[in-house]
Amino acid sequence: MGKKVKKGSQDPPKDVFDPLLIESKTPATVVLMLSSPENEILAKACDALYKFASKGDENKVTLLGLGALEHLHKLLSHEDPLVRRNAVMILGIMASNHDVKKLLRELDVTNSLISQLAPEEDVVIHEFATLCLAYMAVEYTTKVKIFEQGGLEPLIRLLGSPDPDVKKNSLECIYLLVQDFQNRAAVRELNVIPPLLGLLESEYPVIQLLALQTLELISKDRETRILLGENKGLDCLLNILENNELHDLHIETLAVLGNCLEDVHTLQEIQLTGGLKKLVSFLEVSTVPDIQKNAAKAITKAAYDSEIRKILHWGEVEKFLLSLLETNNDEIEVAASQAISAMSENIDSKCVLGLQGIPQLIQLLSSDNEEVKEAVVTALANLTTASPRNASVVAEAEGIEPLMNTLKAQRDGAICNAIAVLTNLSLQEPSRVKIQRHGIMSALVGPLRSTNSQVQSKALFAVAAFGCDAEARAELREVGGLGPLVELLQSKNDEVRRNACWAITVCGSDELTAVELCRLGALDILEEINLSTKRKNKFSEAALEKLLDNNLCQKYSRMGYLSSRNIITNGFYDCGQIKHGGKFLSLEELSQQELTDRRAIIFINAK
């Protein structure tokens, strides 16, 4: 900010007055001269102070301490145009200093500065008034004042000024103002799009860049995107991408187009005019990391809409995303994986990305970068959900071992999604057997003990998925996995509690596991849950029933009856009905008790 874009000095013309007359004076004396009633002295004093302030920040602070700003503020409304011009020039260069800006806000100079932007004013006044406003518009309070005092209209008008410095300063001020969303609608209504698009053809790169950055901010609004299309702005942006001489503007141009991708109407227009094909072709050949990364991020944002996903698929955007997985750049790989996750919601994209992308994604699971690992495994989770074909591709690409290793990742998101992929694979028996051989139940104990409810929930669901196998249940018992399973029944999170009930329903399918779960207190907790109208659900009822059906001694002791499908076998015993809250004792515990005159314990021992 503050640098001129055109050549040549903007000092006052030397034929107006001879500044040497007061150069020998001290700054304090010259500041006092600002109170003079004579126009010539005022103009010369301002000129001398301009030169003094131009020499550095220290001098600006000196003038601030001498009270120059208060005088200069008054001179902004002086009748003499030369005095007014020279006063604005000093304020323009002094406003770069933080303390000066602070006092200018207190003096409320914005209205006086905006009044200097009238069409009849001198171009130098326009230049330094807009420079001062641009310095001050960094602060939110000044933005509000510029908006309330009608500053937007003259600033937009000055985008058409013949002077490049006026254009640049006005544009910079607008750019700062539209960072607050309420100003975006205002500039749109003031028809800012045509002049902004015109500035893209400026001979000054700094102006082109500022115009694109401003367009990027205002095109976040749908109405602006429509206006961009109506004003042929999309063609203009695509032309910049096709021009290699403008490569310095490609990142910002892509940011504007990225916003346009989020709107179905605009994207359809880009596609129908062949713009989408041009855009994808440009992206496929670009080797600029920021362009690759930002393009992937733009696709991720846009792809949350089903219609947009369809159009992007027609534009064969998947080829570009898959090429990004080979860049050997962590940031790009993360962005590409996230875009693949978003695009995989489209069934056709899921097929394309799955077949070609899964082997590449599996290779990236061995990355040392935890963010890459998380993004990659999230993509795999989305690609394998409701897609047996993609689940098979993961197994064929030897993805099981790296997925098992990902269960030890540092990020909870990576662990969650690794569990999700393994659970998706478990629906196919050959894959489930392979995963069990890798010790899935042992690997799930850590996630079951996690403090993250999402990790807990996914781990419990996986236990249910793999617990249908007797060997897996035996492994879970041996590695101490039943304890955390029972503890999670008491979770305050509904989904965790529901999945814990489901896991217990599955794991309680054999007597050994059911008895152990009962010993760990699962029955008492489930009975308590089923007494609560808020926590009770079909899963908690099913879990309780399953445990009792596979632990008939306890069922008979608690319920006082067995159902017709309950068949007692060798080892069954009846120790009488226990009271609610009472402890059910094992046969071993009962045998250690002393004899009493209470009723005998009936034990079936057919052997």
pLDDT digits (tens, 9 = 90+) for 450-489: 999 999 999 999 999 999 999 999 999 999 999 999 999 9
The CA distance from 548 to 1, in Å, is 77
pLDDT greater than 60 at residue 7: no
Report the chain's mean pLDDT, rounded to a whole number.
90
CA distances from 15 to 11, 44, 46, 80, 412 (A): 11, 12, 16, 17, 73
Q: Among all chains, which residue has been given the structure tokens 């539209």? A: 178
Q: For residue 494, give every residue at least 6 positions away whose Cβ sits within 8 Å of its Cβ, in sequence order, or none.
A: none
pLDDT greater than 60 at residue 15: no
Mean predicted confidence (pLDDT) in 523-538: 92
Joined together, the tokens standing for residue 467 give: 């617990």
The CA distance from 402 to 377, in Å, is 10
Distance of CA 506 to the CA centre of its chain: 38
Q: Among all chains, which residue has been given the structure tokens 């999170």? A: 493
495 vs 589, residue with greater confidence: 495
Closest by CA to 211, choosing from 267, 170, 162, 239, is 170
Mean predicted confidence (pLDDT) in 160-183: 96
pLDDT greater than 70 at residue 595: no
Break the chain down into helix, strand, coil percent, rounded to 5: 70, 0, 30
Mean predicted confidence (pLDDT) in 570-599: 63
Long-range Cβ pairs for the range 383-387 (8 Å, 24+): 383/340, 383/344, 383/350, 383/353, 383/354, 383/357, 383/358, 384/354, 384/420, 384/421, 384/424, 384/425, 385/420, 385/424, 387/350, 387/354, 387/424
Joined together, the tokens standing for residue 411 give: 């990020």
pLDDT greater than 80 at residue 24: no
For the chain, counts of helices (H) and of strands (E): 39, 2
Mean predicted confidence (pLDDT) in 309-338: 96
Joined together, the tokens standing for residue 70 give: 């208060």
Residues in a beta bridge with 602: 574
The CA distance from 199 to 156, in Å, is 12
Q: For residue 290, give every residue at least 6 positions away whose Cβ sits within 8 Å of its Cβ, in sequence order, or none.
A: 251
Q: What pLDDT does 592 receive?
A: 63
Long-range Cβ pairs for the range 185-190 (8 Å, 24+): 185/221, 185/223, 186/147, 186/152, 187/152, 187/156, 187/218, 188/218, 188/221, 188/223, 188/224, 188/227, 190/152, 190/153, 190/156
Mean predicted confidence (pLDDT) in 20-48: 82
pLDDT band at residue 582, thresholds of 50, 70 and 90? low
pLDDT greater than 50 at residue 9: no
The CA distance from 591 to 18, in Å, is 118
Q: What pLDDT does 573 receive?
A: 65
Contact 214, 174 (CB under 8 A): yes
Joined together, the tokens standing for residue 438 give: 């890798």
CA atoms within 13 A on the CB side of 64: 20
Does residue 603 sit in helix, strand or coil?
strand
Quote the percentage of the chain above a pLDDT of 70: 87
pLDDT digits (tens, 9 = 90+) for 193-252: 999 999 999 999 999 999 999 999 999 999 999 999 999 999 999 999 999 999 999 999
Q: What pLDDT does 560 receive?
A: 57
Contact 501, 540 (CB under 8 A): yes
Quote the percentage of the chain above a pLDDT of 90: 81
Contact 502, 540 (CB under 8 A): no
Contact 248, 206 (CB under 8 A): no
Residues in a beta bridge with 131: none
Residue ranges per domain, the chain? 566-606
CA distances from 54 to 32, 57, 218, 518, 552 (A): 19, 8, 35, 84, 94
pLDDT greater than 60 at residue 288: yes
Mean predicted confidence (pLDDT) in 147-168: 97
Neighbours of 105 (CB within 10 A): 15
Mean predicted confidence (pLDDT) in 187-194: 96
| CB burial of residue 67 (10 Å; 0-12, 13-18, 19+) | middle
What one-character DSSP code corresponds to residue 315?
T
Q: Among all chains, which residue has been given the structure tokens 């008939």? A: 552
Mean predicted confidence (pLDDT) in 521-534: 91
pLDDT digits (tens, 9 = 90+) for 49-61: 999 999 999 999 9
Q: What pLDDT does 599 receive?
A: 58
Mean predicted confidence (pLDDT) in 26-31: 89
Mean predicted confidence (pLDDT) in 137-153: 95
Q: What pLDDT does 329 receive?
A: 97
- Planar angle of CA 320, 307, 256, nearest 5 degrees: 60
Does residue 304 sit in helix, strand or coil?
coil
Following DSSP, what letter does each residue of 321-374 receive, concatenated? HHHHTTS--HHHHHHHHHHHHHHTTSHHHHHHHHHHHHHHHHHHTT-S-HHHHH
Mean predicted confidence (pLDDT) in 178-201: 95
Mean predicted confidence (pLDDT) in 334-361: 97
Q: What pLDDT does 569 receive?
A: 65
pLDDT band at residue 511, thresholds of 50, 70 and 90? confident
CA distances from 26 to 31, 65, 99 (A): 9, 14, 22
Q: What pLDDT does 17 receive?
A: 38
pLDDT band at residue 380, thresholds of 50, 70 and 90? very high
Following DSSP, what letter does each residue of 177-192 receive, concatenated? HTTSHHHHHHHHHTT-
pLDDT band at residue 12, thresholds of 50, 70 and 90? very low
Helix or strand holding residue 102 (H, E): helix 98-107
